[in-house]
Amino acid sequence: MARIEKVELRMVDLVPKVKRTDAIQSFVSQETPIVTITDSDGATGTGYSYTIGTGGSSVMRLLADHLAPRIIGDDADMIEAIWHKLEFATHATTIGAITAIALAAIDTALWDLRAKKQKLPLWKLAGGARDKVPLYTTEGGWLHIEPEALVDDALQAKANGFRGSKVKIGKSHGAEDFARLSAVRKAVGDGYEIMTDCNQGFAVDEAIRRAERLRELDLAWIEEPLPADDIDGHIRLNRSTSTPIAVGESLYSIRHFREYMQKGGCSIVQVDVGRIGGITPWLKVAHAAEAFDMPVCPHFLMELHVSLVCAIQNGKYVEYIPQLDDLTGKRMEIVDGCALAPSDPGIGIDWDWDAVKRMSVPEFTREITKGEG
């Protein structure tokens, strides 16, 4: 039995590769907590999570002061037990983003460690449903981008074999959203998917109105149309439209997902490993979605989600938003618009440790061993 002997904490602040705007905000920074766990056999596993520019310092303090010290001496293979121990230790701050982001980095590191010691890639260890998954792209569809550029990006993505493009919506008038999406649909034809994302920008009546206006464009889905905690509004909207409603980016508990699925508040599950608290709860949500015949199309973190989507039967798409290029050596492999499941043992991320250390924020770099905390 190998016990956890050391936890190393770092945070890298990454600048997005393109300007990112949506209905409620601009995404100008990705704070990236990185956790490396070493066990008594000398084996290591690394996990990470993210913010979109705020809260990173709070995540790092939570990790350093409360979570990492609690797992020193634990059996590294008792992942389920460790996850629940840490959740209970922070029960006064759950359920919510800060705790979930911190839990995700530790949990993912433990799965990476387990997969490496068993000499298996994560996607096989966690299920092994397929060895590749279709991609859709988001990077060319942000809200500030003009229609001509939206069209050009979608046509290029289609030529590259991608299955769809996401276009942000939430302009001041529905006619603007309709015009932008209509231009893309006319250019790409009927065989190419168009996803839309509202980023929680509407109230329910406006969402119903816009969904009806957009119905003729045969959208793949409408994502986060309402505030994430408005389950009754989502139920009402989902019943009013034939366009699939997607949620999950801003849900932080398996029970939140259960309510949405059970009560008919969504038809596509976008569970995010960095927001749900790690791989352990991610798999539970994904398997629950299969019981409801719902596809899983996770939000962001493509370099990690490719392995998880390949692990499950109901994984449908991975969202193409490259963000770890500056921190990795070997990149996610793409062939004919599909991401290939990584073949190396672990979570499938080839960290460039020289780059990680060089870009780490010094004040959040910490090594925790026995007797600390």
The secondary element (H helix, E strand) that includes residue 37 is strand 30-39
Choice among 168, 234, 256, 316 that is catalytic: 168
Choice among 117, 124, 234, 299 that is catalytic: 299
Active site residue 66: no
* Token digits of residue 295: 């596809």
Smallest Cα–Cα separation from 214: which of 182, 171, 170?
A: 182
Contact assessment for residue 45 and residue 37, using Cβ atoms and an 8 Å cutoff: yes
Identify the DSSP state of 360.
B
- What secondary structure, in 3-state letters, does 195-263 show? EEECCCCCCHHHHHHHHHHHHHHCCCEEECCCCCCCHHHHHHHHHHCCCCEEECCCCCCHHHHHHHHHH
CA 31 to chain centroid, in Å, comes to 14
**Cα(111)–Cα(50) distance, integer angstroms:** 17
Active site residue 84: no
- Catalytic annotation, residues: 168, 299
